[in-house]
Structures are given as structure tokens and as C-alpha cells.
Amino acid sequence: MVDHQRTIVFRASPKTIFLWLMAVIAVLVALSVAGMVLRFGMGFSKGLGAIALIDLNSETNFPTYFSVALLACCSLLLALIGIAHRQLRMGWHRHWIFLALVFLAMSMDEFIQLHEKTMEFISGHLGIVPGSILTNSWVVLAFVFLPLLGLAYLRFLMAMNRRSAALMVAAGIVYVGGAVGVEMVSGMMKGTYGFGSLPFMISTTIEETLELVGLAIFIYALTNYAARMGLSWSFEPA
């Protein structure tokens, strides 16, 4: 009996993957903006449930699941690169694996919104009032965690080739700019104008867009890094 071994190779350039991700993001943003126009510009009060399915400001909908998938994809790519570094004795594998765990936690948090459940506790202990720059008080946790992560990964980035390091830093700036920077602005809008107000929805749309674009850039950085290093993976039966 002849054992025919079949190998299917998936080939896609990092640029192609990035462009497809950006196309999906553009569609999601356009649909969300169209929903805001229908609601605030044309006075549609019916069909808000359908609009919520594509609203970047809502939870447990298509944009949320897409964001969860992107974060999980980042985690998987980081883990695969970390395993490859370990097997090839290239060093820094623990940094890659730890970052994979961070993104896995971020993916789970995006799904269950755990960080938002800390706001009442943080606001109560710090005396934060609605409408202030720290209305979304969970960002205090980011102010503690992000500098520590940056210091821990400084040598890691310096040891990497400049293009990959620059792409990863750029992705981080865009993502954090949305997730923390614009998040603080949207918190002010929520406290001042209300949760369903147009200023709040505009600010959160910008926030979510920056987060998605940051993740797309990061996936491009990881796939580009793997391609430059000549990394590939095969799966064999046990």
C-alpha cells in the first residue's frame, strides 16, 4: 500500500495580508459611520439593533469579534516565532512567548471586557469623577503596565533588525494611541455628553479604528519578520 503524503503550502506575502486586513477594517469603519449617519443625521430610530451589529462602539458584535480574532492571531504568530527561536537557538524566545501570552490575555479581555469591570473600583479609590480625563479609569492600569513592558523589551527591540523593530514600535504607538489616548477623550465625552451621544460615538469610533489599524500593522510586522528570517512551520502526525 502506497502512502501518498500530501503537503499543502499556504503562501501569502505580508503586504497582501496587511492590505486584506486594512480592506476589512475600512469596510467595518464605513458601515459604522453609515450607522451613525442614519441615527444622528437622518433620525432613524428603528433598526438600531441591526445598526449595533456593525457599530464600532458596541460590544459582542462583528467588529468586536474581528478585534478578538486579530489579537488571537497576533498571539499565535508570536508563539510560533518564539518556538522557532527556541528550536533554532536564536535567543529571545522567552520574550516572544511572554508577548504571546500578553496578546492572548488581551484577546480574552476584548471578548469579556474585563478591564471595564475594574473602573468602579479604581474610580472609587482614586476619587475620579465622570467627565474627567480619567473617566475610563482602567487606563491607570495601562500607565503602570506599559512603561514596565517597554523597559523589559527595550534590549529585545534593539537586538532586532531595524525594520521589524520600527514596525512593531509603530504598531504599538497606533494601538496604544487609540486604546489609551483616545480612550481618555471618549471617557470625557461619555461623562460630559452621555453614553449614546454623537461626540462619544465619534471619539470611540476613532479609538476602535486606531486599535484595529495598530493590530493590522503588528500582524504585518510579525509576518514580515518571519519571512525575513526564513521561518516556516510544518505539522506532522504524532
Is residue 233 assigned to a domain? no
Per the domain annotation, does 9 fall within a domain?
no
- The answer to whether 209 touches 56, Cβ cutoff 8 Å, is yes
156 lies in some domain: yes
Query: Residues with Cβ < 8 Å from 61, sequence gap 6 or more?
Result: 52, 53, 54, 55
The C-alpha torsion from 75 through 80 and 86 to 87, rounded to 10°, is: 170
CA 184 – CA 176 distance, rounded (Å): 11
Q: What is the pLDDT of residues 104-125, one digit of tens each?
A: 999 998 888 787 777 778 877 7
- Note the pTM of the prediction, 2 decimals: 0.91
Please indicate, yes or no, if residue 27 is contained in any of the structural domains: yes
Q: What is the DSSP letter of 54?
A: T
Distance CA 27, CA 203 (A): 18
How many other C-beta atoms can be found within 10 angstroms of the C-beta atom of residue 155? Answer: 11
Total domains, the chain: 1
Is 5 domain-assigned? no
Per-residue pLDDT band for 203 (boundaries 50, 70, 90) equals very high
